[in-house]
Chains A and B, each alone.
Chain A
Amino acid sequence: MSAPGRIDVSIEHKRSTPDAPAGKHPNTCPSCGSHYRDEELVEHLRVCPHCGRHFAVGAWERIAQLADADSFVESHADLRSADPLEFFDLRPYRERLAEAESETGLGDAIVTGQAQIDGHSCQLAVMDFSFMGGSMGSVVGEKLARACEDAAANGGAVVSVSASGGARMQEGILSLMQMPKTVCAVDELHEAGGVLLSVLTHPTTGGVLASFASLGDVILAEPGALMSFAGPRVVAQTTREKLPEDFGLAESNLRFGHVDAIVKRPELRATLSRLLRLFESES
């Protein structure tokens, strides 16, 4: 990897602050080496006040950053994975799920619901990398699809914020099938006149990027976010190609035409508000 510690898409990540390098002060920015206090970082929307590095944000914190106060109403919170393969690697999948749920307080790697952003109604679908690397299994696919349907029912908008290492391997082929499932849901949203604003955060890779996240009417990315179909390690190992310094990063994707804009986190809420306003007046 060109920038060690910067790009890590291991789906085994379970720490709540996956960016802290080992062996150093836990609150050290890996980009500029400055130290920070937890509450200071939260206040700055988890953007390093010194160098602007964007740290990972959990789903609920993201919702608090984007939605108007008290406007978010969660939906389909009761959905859970069913382990149809009775998958067992080093540990049973059920055990991993239970552990992820107790560590994160989330039912799966996405939280969806109705929200207002600066007074504009939308369905907000926010992924959380700390739940099994934000991997997409049946529950993530279903909740994303239902968010599209809930929005389509009133000709509205979906704002998705993705963070994912790819497919949930423990659900085997059914995790792959979440790709056409979410694609189908976005397509029906479009047919109903709705809009998808897709926000890509670090990292958005694999099956999530190769399905709904790439079908946004507008695609925004956070600075420095890795957005590639194959992860840098896979590319390096499979092809033995030398990876460019900015491989798969949002900045490179903007240059190659795969995203509409890179938006710094402090400007994200205002940007989404402006886009929602533009699409509202269309209909």
Chain B
Amino acid sequence: MTQDAELGLRDRLARLSGVKLLRGTRLSTEIERLERQLERLREDKTDEEIWRSVELARHQDRPYTLDYVERILEDWFELHGDRGRFDDGAIVAGLGSLDGHTIAVVGHQSGRDAKERTHRTWGMAYPEGYRKATRVMELAARHGFPIVTLVDTQGAYPGVAAEQHGQAGAIARSQASMLRLAVPTIAVVIGQGGSGGAVALAVADRVLMQEHAIYSVITPEGCALILWRDAAQAKRAAAAFKPDAPHCLELGVIDGIVPEPEGGAHTDPDKAASLLHEAISAHLEELVGLAPDELLRTRRAKFRGMGVLAAV
């Protein structure tokens, strides 16, 4: 119950904070009141709870992109290949119908068994995967279809061939491309939002996280290995860099949190899918009425403003 209350509060706060241009004491008082309530709730946040999200985000039964696609979309048609080199199974892309309107969905995809996991390189994409994503998103934008990306990766694939094929450039260009899509875009982190491989698909008008998803610059183990020189310190590392959804919301990195069934998305994928559907539809409804120019301007301003600075 407390968690539901917190999610509701954060969602409202995020919406209110997004309308800074509207002046008026009523609004700022409301924001202050919500912030005070959040402050009280946040005191309970422990390192254990952060680690629980890390574990749930990686749970082997957690729904992947295609699990949501089959529950949310009708007439799904998957599109394959980067039109250059190969079809990267770690990213799926296609068109489908959401609430009666065509949209494009692009997302990371891992496998349920050893064979599929190998084929999909555990959801870690090659540059070809990002080029496929870019191709399909640009295709959707040409036809005015809104775009939903589902982010779920430990990171981009760190292999020799991936480097030779231009991993860094593909990630950079995917971000640049997403900043230019003149249609509504929504990114939802549905599991692990790991590093550049995640942000490559997450430069969207609305960036949401499922309640137990994580979004971070490096894996807890990677961070622990570098800063503590001991991968076993992963829990401490996670507590230090705070990859959980409430902290990402607090830092202004995401725009909202999508609730999950009690115990995590894997306990009830149908319920998780309907909650995700609800959130996507609600945000799309707010975005479809906006002029493309305004979408682009707001999206760019949001990402241009990321970070926290001090001055001497």
Contact = CB atoms under 8 A, between A and B. Distances in A.
Given A183-B176, A210-B167, A257-B166, A177 B253 contact: yes
A173 B241 contact: yes
Given A180-B179, A241-B159, A257-B166, A207 B196 contact: yes
Interface in B242-280: 242-243, 247-248, 251, 253
Contact of A173 (B163, B203, B217, B226): B217
A173 B196 contact: no
Interface stretch (B19-27, B94-102, B298-306): B298-306
B251 A244 contact: no
Interface string A49-76: 0000000000000000000000000000
B1 interface: no
Contact of A90 (B228, B300, B303): B228
B196 A210 contact: yes
B163 A230 contact: yes
Nearest to B166: A258
A139 interface: yes
A172 B217 contact: yes
B99 to A, nearest CB: 28
Interface in A257-280: 257-258
Interface residues of A, number: 67
Interface string B203-231: 10000000000011110001100111000
B304 A177 contact: no
User: Which size bracket describes the interface of B in this complex?
Assistant: 35 or more
A214 interface: yes
B158 interface: yes
A201 interface: no
A172 B222 CA distance: 13
B158 A174 contact: no
A167 B311 contact: no
A234 interface: yes
Interface centre among A172, A213, A248 (most CB of B within 10 A): A172
B173 A187 contact: no
Given A138-B308, A180-B199, A247-B163, A214 B215 contact: no
A228 B168 contact: yes
Contacts of A241: 159-160
Contacts of B176: 183, 186-187, 215
Contact of B169 (A12, A171, A258): A258
Contact of A176 (B168, B180, B216, B312): B216
18 contacts: A82-B310, A85-B241, A139-B307, A141-B307, A142-B309, A145-B304, A173-B247, A174-B307, A176-B196, A177-B253, A183-B175, A187-B179, A211-B172, A212-B172, A227-B168, A228-B163, A244-B160, A258-B168
